[in-house]
Amino acid sequence: MPQDPIKIAIKGSTQEHLPIEDIIDGIVILKDGGAAQVLQVSSVNFDLLSEREQGALVFAYGGILNSLNFPIQIMIHSTTKDVGVYLKNLVSAEEEQDNQQLKERIASYRKFIEETVKRNDVLSKTFYIVVPFSPMELGLKSAGNQILGSVIGKKNNNAGLPFQKEYIVEKARASLGPKKDHLERLFSRLGLEVKILNTKELIELFYKIYNEETAAIQNVASLNYMAPVVTTKPNPFPRQGGASPFDKGDLKTE
């Protein structure tokens, strides 16, 4: 008896269409044999600087870019911030304040914040630098890379990657490490801190990028990011006016 196609589980996933093969020890392995590390860079409020300070910062930043002898990708990721907790803290501070004048000022400020978020989203910007590792650094030049991999004994048993993941990670780490240190020294001159993202942080970042609408109310609850099926628990705080079929809770993988 033929099965109902609606009841047949779908084994595929959008993860199969991503260029990412795996993430190991903070290194993103790409399906073409390349790799990359993602660095998070702190920010500075440019508008609060004096004109002289702005000019010096722009000049120093230009010097950094001109000094690089390897490619980088600069990415800015904007996310909507939930100010609910902040507003609750303001309410608590208002209730605990004995000074009537300060109490009124806190109430006025709280109302200002509430009106502001009603008109505009509160955005948080995070800055990243992606440092790539080219598959050509593995000696790959053409479709004959499979032969090269077998000759040096690093042929990958899984289809797709030209070499074993451990070999790619080893070579990528040796190449990307000095580049990361160089960028860290350069940006420290601007008073900026550079932090390399670990595996968990990379998973969360990619999830937020590919799931912008639901990422604000979901948290990655498992490192099993290679799971073929991704499901979510119902949102315990549904929207006003009834629950939405798109309301989600914590992310989990199966």
- Render pLDDT for 194-238 as a digit per residue (tens, 0 to 9): 999 999 999 989 888 887 766 555 555 444 544 433 444 444 444
The C-alpha angle with vertex 126 and arms to 165 and 87, in degrees rounded to 5, equals 130
| Contact by Cβ (8 Å): 163, 138 | yes
Check residues 143 and 16 and name the one with the higher pLDDT: 16
Check residues 126 and 139 and name the one with the higher pLDDT: 126
pLDDT in tens, 35-92: 999 999 998 888 888 999 999 999 999 988 998 999 999 999 888 777 888 899 999 9
Which residue has 């230009």 as its token pair?
Answer: 62
pLDDT in tens, 136-177: 888 766 444 443 333 333 444 455 788 888 999 999 999 999
The pLDDT assigned to 2 comes to: 54
Tell me the whole-structure pTM to 2 decimals: 0.66
**Among 253, 250, 254, 252, which residue's Cα sits nearest to residue 219?**
250
| Contact by Cβ (8 Å): 251, 232 | yes
